[in-house]
Chains A and B, each alone.
Chain A
Amino acid sequence: MELLIILQYVVPGFVVAILAELAWMKWRGGVSYEWRDSVASLTMGLGNLVDGAMIAALLYVLFAWLYGFRVVDWPAAAWWAFPIVLLVQDFCFYWSHRLSHEWRLWWAAHVTHHSSQHYNLSTALRQPVTGFFALSWAPYALMPLVGIPVEAIASAHAVSLAYQFWIHTEAIGRLPAWFEAVFNTPSHHRVHHATNPRYLDRNYAGTLIIWDRLFGTFQAEVASDPPRYGIVKNLGTFNPVVIGVHEWVSIFRDLRAARTWRGRLMCLFGPPGWREDGHGSTSETIRDDWRRRLPQAAE
């Protein structure tokens, strides 16, 4: 119910922000929206509400049960504790997000969000519709186990989602250095959505960029290497169904063709792009090829 009330406030804000971004693009010249791309993104945003409702229905029950096994008992529902709850939520987001790029099973759901070649506020709403099945919500199970009740988890999740909306834009360049050092920003997140070899699988942060700095996945935006958005092999379709399930189909085909148990396991938990025949291209092999091709640029 709380999530429905939050929607009531968040949606008008999203609409105003997108209209403002469009007005800014008109003013500067060059609108980097493609209407069929945006229709797909917005349709998938609506689909994500259904997916999100399914996840919420499951997690309300599951996390309430896990809360009974909490290892720490502290007043996590108190107002003063909310920053700590946000910190724990953001830590869980980092790992859920990172593994959603490193495990193909989770990537199958998350790839939806990266499938647009545009980077604008409508891209923020292009969200997975199969997250429920991918189980990529699993890292959040840490939250009830450290004594955070379900209601506080839902509130923290809503704050995280709202924060991550505004960073999907090219309208904002660099923010003050102290802010860029601590928080996820449009510049950091442009890097995350880029397919340039330098930028692949970098900046997984939700709200705080400190996790990427801490775990060695941070990459600053480089002026001489402007981001090219999308995925390594761009889709070539605006069909929301194809966008939503294409990687699942691909996994299914690869599982059927796999000849070894290692191959089958890697189809699910190996990096996207991995192939049993050794001819695949993962983020790491692409970056290695790039370093070989342009050693000076890679330094």
Chain B
Amino acid sequence: MDSVVPLILPVVAAVALMATIYFVSRGARAPALDEILARRRLYEDWQDFEAGEVWISADRRAALATDRGSNRLGLVYAFGDKLPSRLLGPGDILSARLDGGRLVIETKDFGRHHFALVSTGEAATRPWAERLSRLAAA
């Protein structure tokens, strides 16, 4: 029995902490994106990327940006209460399509391969889907 307690204790403690943290921190969301915030996030994360044109998804939970110096695209997305980012270049994307009001991006990234960005309408979103598709084909 004495040797069982130290084995059970970490599990009980972890479950109790998970429940406490849920009640204390629930509802935390990433800030809504706008162009300034999207540019700032990309500027902070990537030293070799200079955002040109920026697109913000309709729900303001994702953004795409062109790079002034290359054909890469910057992607900022809401994840929990944070706004991490990615650079998408040739060879990083499997496919990109407009599907049911969403710009769906499939990447080769094992950490996160699927992104679904809420469209701002066919006319505004189509050029971004085409840019992404060109990267997928490269």
Contact = CB atoms under 8 A, between A and B. Distances in A.
Interface of A: 1, 4-5, 7-8, 11-12, 14-15, 18-19, 22, 25-26, 31, 33-39, 42-43, 45-46, 49, 117, 122, 195-197, 228, 230, 232-238, 242, 246, 249-250, 253, 279, 281, 286, 289-290, 293
A228 B21 CA distance: 22
Nearest to B15: A42
13 contacts: A4-B7, A7-B9, A11-B9, A15-B17, A34-B28, A39-B18, A42-B18, A43-B14, A46-B11, A195-B45, A236-B86, A242-B111, A250-B110
Given A35-B26, A122-B17, A234-B79, A11 B48 contact: no
Nearest to B11: A46
Given A4-B7, A234-B85, A253-B110, 14 more contacts: A8-B6, A8-B9, A14-B13, A18-B21, A33-B21, A33-B25, A34-B81, A39-B18, A117-B79, A196-B44, A234-B82, A236-B77, A286-B47, A289-B48
Contacts of A279: 89
B47 A197 contact: yes
Contacts of B17: 15, 18, 38, 42, 122
Given A233-B86, A249-B110, A289-B48, A45 B10 contact: yes
Interface in B47-65: 47-48
Contacts of A46: 10-11, 14
B80 interface: yes
A281 B89 CA distance: 13
A42 B7 contact: no
Given A236-B79, A236-B111, A22 B24 contact: yes
Residue of A5, A26, A233, A246 most packed against chain B (CB within 10 A): A233
Main secondary structure of the interface of A (DSSP, over half): helix
Nearest first, the 8 closest Cβ-Cβ pairs linking A and B are A236-B112, A289-B47, A234-B84, A235-B111, A4-B6, A34-B80, A42-B14, A33-B25
Contacts of A242: 110-111
B20 interface: yes
Contacts of A197: 47
Contacts of B45: 195, 232
A5 B110 contact: no
B104 to A, nearest CB: 15
A235 B9 contact: no
Residue of A14, A42, A237, A246 most packed against chain B (CB within 10 A): A42
Given A8-B5, A14-B13, A246 B111 contact: yes
Interface string B83-116: 0111001000000000000000000001110000
B16 interface: yes
B24 to A, nearest CB: 5
B81 to A, nearest CB: 5
Contacts of A15: 13, 16-17
A38 B111 contact: no
Contacts of B26: 35
A242 B110 CA distance: 8
B22 to A, nearest CB: 4
